[in-house]
Amino acid sequence: MKYSLLYYFKHFCFSFVFIFAIIIVNAQPNLNSNLPCYSIATTSNGTSMLYEMSPYSSQWRLIDKIDRNNIKALAISENKNVLYAIDKNVLGTINPVTAKFNEIGLIGSGNGVIGNILLDDVYGFTYVPYEDALYASHRIYSYDKQTNTAIQNSNDLLFKIDPTSGNIVLGAFEYGYDYAQIDDISNSTISVPTLYDVSDITYNRYTGELLILHGYQLPLNDIITINNIQDGTTEVFLTLLFKPSISLAFDNYDNVFLTTLPDLPNSNYSGDLHRVNIESSGSSKTNTLDPSLTEPTYFNCLECFKSSVSISNCQPIIYLNNYAPIRNTYKAQADLYSNKEILSNTICTAGNSITLGNHFSASRNINFTAKIENCN
């Protein structure tokens, strides 16, 4: 049987396209994770891109460009399986497959101790499951490059957002204010002794508190605090003595991760992912975020999906049988049983009973409190 040149050409083209498609598919790593992390990275010209990371392999892949520019705030609702983002004064969701931004509504402005403020410069952003609410921080710039000092009384603002309407929740804080001022941090060992600006916030699902990353994106300048979600008051948690950091998140295993600024002198245009070492207040580098980048790109926000267990500040019965390297607050409606090794300040509250097992221990010079008190 004879075949025409057209026949061979068609089969050659089909084979080439098929092989090329396989190469393209294999070029992107298979993350194979049902609890991924996401980050939004923004180039110097304002283009924002959605990245996905497997927490198991620490592999990153670019999803696509987002159809909005200069997005610096990302939050994840594990209850609803939703990625939330803020574009200036607009709350929306981001499709994790296409990176398309879908508008929900205008956040608006809030009244408080410094008057009416349009909340349109959001850096920190996180989801609080037990309230089904979003919390965000509005930036009031305070760093003076000329004098390497901070402008006094320029605290960033913490406020609450309704994820259904996209609007600010009015009267959510003390005295009926719509926002709370986040405490400034003073520390004589860092490069700018007083910090007012917040780079990111993330919710600790076990303590019911926020971790807040403070700093001016300068070397030896970052501090993490534990923050009261109701009034913005802080307690210093860690002083981070390494590269300038710009975003903060817990993964599903409650490890704390940070992204850093690009390191241009070493041709690192994306910055790195670091896992925080709680004991030493330092970190260990996990990987470079995107080694393929050739222009400065800022991974301004980082969030991870977590297991879809029922999360509450007041659970019916709590069994604590693992290592506790950071401060925690545990509240049970009925009974609480602990076999933990406690290494930092911890409070256990239960309505009926608190049982400390044979392997329970509390390290020297820490405060451990156990009390019978209904937490409903």
Q: Which domain holds residue 112?
A: 37-304
Split into its structural domains, the chain has a count of 2
Confidence of residue 17 (pLDDT cuts 50, 70, 90): very low
The sign one gets for the Cα dihedral 92, 97, 100, 102 is negative
Secondary structure percentages of the chain, helix, strand, coil, to 5: 10, 50, 45
pLDDT value at residue 262: 94
Confidence of residue 313 (pLDDT cuts 50, 70, 90): low
Same-domain status, 288 and 360: no
Q: What is the pLDDT of residues 223-236, one digit of tens each?
A: 888 777 767 677 77
**Cα–Cα distances in angstroms (integers) from residue 88 to residues 108, 139, 229, 245, in the given order:** 10, 11, 23, 22
Number of neighbouring beta carbons within 10 Å of residue 282: 14
The structure tokens listed for 180 are: 């709370």
DSSP for 188-204, please give it. Answer: TTSSSSEE--EEEEEEE
Confidence of residue 220 (pLDDT cuts 50, 70, 90): low
Q: What is the pLDDT of residues 232-288, one digit of tens each?
A: 677 776 777 567 889 999 888 778 899 999 999 999 999 999 988 766 666 788 999
pLDDT at 12 over 50: no
What is the residue-averaged pLDDT of the chain? Answer: 81
Same-domain status, 106 and 178: yes
**Cα–Cα distances in angstroms (integers) from residue 148 to residues 32, 139, 178, 343, in the given order:** 46, 18, 32, 36
Lowest mean pLDDT among 15-19, 39-43, 247-251: 15-19
Domain boundary among 255, 283, 304: 304
pLDDT at 323 over 60: no
Same-domain status, 77 and 216: yes
Burial class from Cβ neighbours inside 10 Å (0-12, 13-18, 19+) for residue 88 reads middle
pLDDT value at residue 118: 98
pTM: 0.75
- Asked whether residue 88 is domain-assigned, the answer is yes
CB 144 within 8 A of CB 184: no
pLDDT at 161 over 90: yes
